[in-house]
Chains A and B, each alone.
Chain A
Amino acid sequence: MSSVKEVDDRFKKFGTVSFTSITKTNDFIDYLEKGKVMGTRCKGCGLIFFPPRADCHQCLAGNMEWSEITGTGKLVTYSKLEFAPIGFQEDVPYCIALLDYGDYKVFGRIADDLSEQDIEVGMQMKTAVNTLPNGQLNYVFQKS
């Protein structure tokens, strides 16, 4: 019998380097593994959150349900990085970006197969799960 308690640190799998391992939104990772990018919706007041969160600041309820990010969002802005912080150098160059879905926005990366000429502010893009070369999971924006 081991006395070591099992730790639910699924979130360490998020992104090239995760700086968080334990969160009440750990199920986000399970959904990524199933190919789904999820936000949360407050069952108390209906507010939608992306990034997902466990607590609603509007009605103070802790009663969330998962809701999938579907359809397309408008590219608000982006930047292509030629240098990277420590831990991310292998990924260079890559683009970080923001999509506006209307009720919420999503911050992430643009898919590597899109060159900068193909990217235009205002274009419609969709959010898709992506497996990184180091086996970690994130999501990227693709041309819709």
Chain B
Amino acid sequence: MSKVAIIGVGQSAFVRSYPGSIRELAFEGFKEAMQDARLTTKDIDASVICSAPEYDKQRSPAGVFAEYMGLNPQPTFYVESLCSSSSMGVRLAYSLVKSGLHDVVAVIGFQKMSEISSSESQERMGRGADIQWESPFGTMMPAYYAMFARAHMEKYGTTLEDLALIRVKAATYGQLNDKAVYRKPVTFDMFSDPENRMSGPVASPLRVGDCCANADGSSCIIVAKEEKAKALCKKPVWIMGLGAATASVNLAGRDVFTGLAVAQKAGKQAYEMAGVAPKDIDVAEVHDCFTIAEMMAYEDLGFARPGEGKALVKDKATYKEGSIPVNVDGGLLSKGHPIGATGGSQIRTIVLQLRDEAGDIQVKDPQIGLVHNIGGVGLYGNVTILAR
């Protein structure tokens, strides 16, 4: 069976307010990936454009981007699964290449969140849940994840201090990432200082320091079939496993509140497809939109047993030198979370790690990496396993 590779990766800086239009923002990630892969637009057989709707005014961005990137007359696809859109885009690109329909596919994720206010953006994100039966109660993402945090604390004795350690780790590496929106140090003591912004309430039990920031950004992943990858690329990174799952949008339809069922299911699929186990993963990027989300990811992906995720961060096992480094690019907590661009940024980090090109955050000699990317509050889950 012919394999599928990633032959180019790119991302824009993730910033609070990008001084340009969405097509210009998307071009930044695209340009970096094209230069990385040393391709021209004629080499790209199709594009997949990924974002969540209603942050900007453009309807059907795929056509606009295809033209701006110089990808006419090749076909383009638009993929949306909220915050996991660009992982879902890579899943589509994989299937397009594997089917033989296209040889080289560019997956471009973007989001320009700064065109609307923060409370408007909370309302948009809240409407990524059940608009008929939940949104009329005034829901927003931090509160939904806070409900999972509360359940995790009740069942396993997880504490706010355990969660703070995850933010401290993220900031340790965010300071090294010149594409991250938040690059200041965060200390453990900030969370117990009522005067410090980090300890401010958002949605109990989560605090400001437990939440990632909105950002504008773009990412691009170039996917190719084996023969092309070997011809075009010195260090192709292979897509070994893909998992994807959905769950009930209304929390009333869920059974698990101490983890995300979609992550558990997608993880299991990806491990099986790749023929590897959690212990084989050398470096991982997980969807830490909130500190509790990273804690649950440790457990959902099998890096720790249920309830024991806190030991991983306490023992620094998820630091760069630890047994399972997680989010050593700063994660969403430091990089910021431009919805449609996020998955591509996570994949880019793992590809650079597997090529030994990650610079200051390079993990020693990783062979296999994993990306965990979640859409909504565990509505969509994507897990991607990559190998050198």
Tell me the A residues contacting B by CB distance below 8 Å: 11, 14-20, 23, 50-51, 76-89, 91, 94, 96-98, 104-109, 116, 121-122, 138
Contacts and interface: CB of A to CB of B under 8 A. Distances in A.
Contact of A138 (B120, B126, B136): B136
Contact of A82 (B119, B144, B203): B203
B101 to A, nearest CB: 32
Contacts of A106: 252
B202 A98 contact: no
Nearest to A94: B138
A112 to B, nearest CB: 13
B147 A78 contact: yes
Nearest to B143: A79
Interface centre among A79, A80, A104, A108 (most CB of B within 10 A): A79
A108 B137 contact: yes
Contact of B136 (A18, A78, A82, A98): A18
Given A80-B203, A86-B122, A23 B132 contact: yes
Contacts of A19: 127, 131-132, 135-136
A77 B122 CA distance: 21
A51 B138 contact: no
A18 B140 CA distance: 15
A80 B137 CA distance: 12
A89 to B, nearest CB: 7
Contacts of A108: 137
A56 to B, nearest CB: 14
A20 B148 CA distance: 27
B189 interface: no
By Cβ-Cβ distance, the 10 closest A-B pairs, closest first, are A15-B136, A88-B138, A79-B146, A85-B123, A51-B133, A85-B122, A105-B252, A19-B131, A80-B204, A77-B151
B204 A79 contact: yes
Contacts, number: 120
| Count class of interface residues, chain B | 35 or more
Interface string B108-146: 000000000101101100110011111111111011101
11 contacts: A16-B137, A79-B204, A80-B203, A81-B138, A83-B122, A84-B138, A96-B137, A96-B139, A97-B147, A107-B133, A121-B151
Contact of B119 (A83, A116, A122): A83
B251 interface: yes
A14 B133 CA distance: 9
Contacts of B123: 85-87
B296 to A, nearest CB: 13
Contacts of A97: 147
B134 A86 contact: no
B136 A107 contact: no
Given A15-B138, A107-B133, 9 more contacts: A19-B131, A19-B135, A79-B143, A79-B146, A83-B142, A84-B122, A85-B120, A86-B120, A91-B138
Nearest to B151: A77
A129 B205 CA distance: 27
B150 interface: yes
B199 interface: no
A23 to B, nearest CB: 7
Contacts of B251: 98, 105, 107
Given A77-B151, A79-B203, A96-B143, A16 B136 contact: yes
Nearest to B155: A121
A87 B138 CA distance: 8
Contact of B250 (A81, A84, A107): A107
A14 B132 CA distance: 9
A83 B252 contact: no
Interface centre among A23, A85, A96 (most CB of B within 10 A): A85
B75 interface: no
Nearest to B133: A51
Nearest to B118: A83
Given A19-B132, A105-B251, A138-B136, A89 B150 contact: no
B257 interface: yes
B201 interface: yes
Given A77-B150, A98-B251, A83 B202 contact: yes
B356 to A, nearest CB: 42
Contacts of B150: 77-79, 121
A8 to B, nearest CB: 15
